[in-house]
Amino acid sequence: MRLIRDSLFVNPGDRGAVAAIGNFDGVHLGHISVIDRSREIAVELGAPLGVLTFEPHPREYFAPDAPPFRLMNATARAHRLEKLGVEKLYELPFNKTLSQLSAQEFASQIISQRLGLKHVIVGEDFRFGKGRDGDVDALRAFGEEMGFGVTIAPLLDLGQTEVSSTAIRDALSEGRPRDAAAMLGHWHRIEGEVIRGDQRGRELGYPTANMSIAGLHPPKFGVYVVLASVLSGPHKGLYHGAASIGIKPTFGENTPNCETFLFDFKGDLYGAPMSVALVDYLRPEESFDSLEALITQMDADCAKARDILSELPRHHV
């Protein structure tokens, strides 16, 4: 997959794609349906499959002090889009210049002139341009005027639940990772580099791989059953495990992070890129009166996690 971040200097070979446009936070089933439709059109037109998105998320740009809401960072989003067969990822910097473009200017300067997109696909609730003044009808009109095709994809729902990033955040906030996965079409993952912690887990017999969750919507604090993928390096592979997400109340710490214990693993993961998939929620965070009580509970958590993971269908692993 080609990652294009500069719309001013686009190689001729990166122009002419069929591209889905949106923020694609979480890359959930609704997003996937838009990309699937884009793929069909790309095949029909003999064009590359692309996605046009923005970094940071416009909501982060306009409200930088608001609580974290993103389901995934840009790297995790790119990994997920690549798995879906996206060939061109146009990840444009969302800055003052871009935010000030009117809907017509965005269509003319970005879609038509700079990227030369052949066809664009958006959801029916798509809004664009300064003040979100452009809608799907405006996009269609601009496409006819400027020479690019436009397809509007309907919103997706699962029975009584409309698939949306908001609904997925709600499920995660309530400790329902399987409900989130049903809307995502994949496990919700926390992805990033393994960072050095206080090494207290090692002393307890439970060495953990620590990852920051800064900038991400925090799932309900507590202990989870997880599938962890080490993405590169000598320990690359898939591992079963249990993770604690939260602030470690027993030790009086207050910076939320994700600490993952990998079953039957020995090795150093510091600096390694890792992706931790939340499978099930076991229990809330607790404060323990003694280290012995904490270790006893961790033993029970890991035993239960092993049982749950042993029952997963192979294709889910």
Query: Would you say 126 and 88 are in contact if contact means Cβ atoms under 8 Å apart?
Result: no
Query: What SS3 state is found at 315?
Result: helix
Cα separation, 219 vs 263, in Å, equals 22
87, 91, 191, 259: the catalytic one is 259
Print the SS3 string covering 89-156.
EEEEECCHHHHCCCHHHHHHHHHHHHCCCCEEEEECCCCECHHHCECHHHHHHHHHHHCCEEEEECCC
Determine whether 60 is an active site residue: no
Q: Whose CA is closest to 224, among 259, 199, 253? A: 259
What strand order describes the sheet that includes 119-123?
Answer: 2-4, 88-93, 49-55, 18-21, 119-123, 149-153
Q: Whose CA is closest to 98, among 58, 140, 146, 142? A: 58
Query: Would you say 279 and 225 are in contact if contact means Cβ atoms under 8 Å apart?
Result: yes
Cis link prior to 313 (omega < 30° from 0)?
no
Cα separation, 305 vs 285, in Å, equals 16
In angstroms, the first-to-last Cα distance of the chain is: 25
Place of tokens 């146009």: 90
- How many CA atoms does the CB half-sphere of 210 hold within 13 Å? 18
Q: Whose CA is closest to 221, among 255, 194, 187? A: 255
Rounded to 10°, the helix 165-173/177-184 angle is 160
Q: Show which residues are catalytic.
A: 259
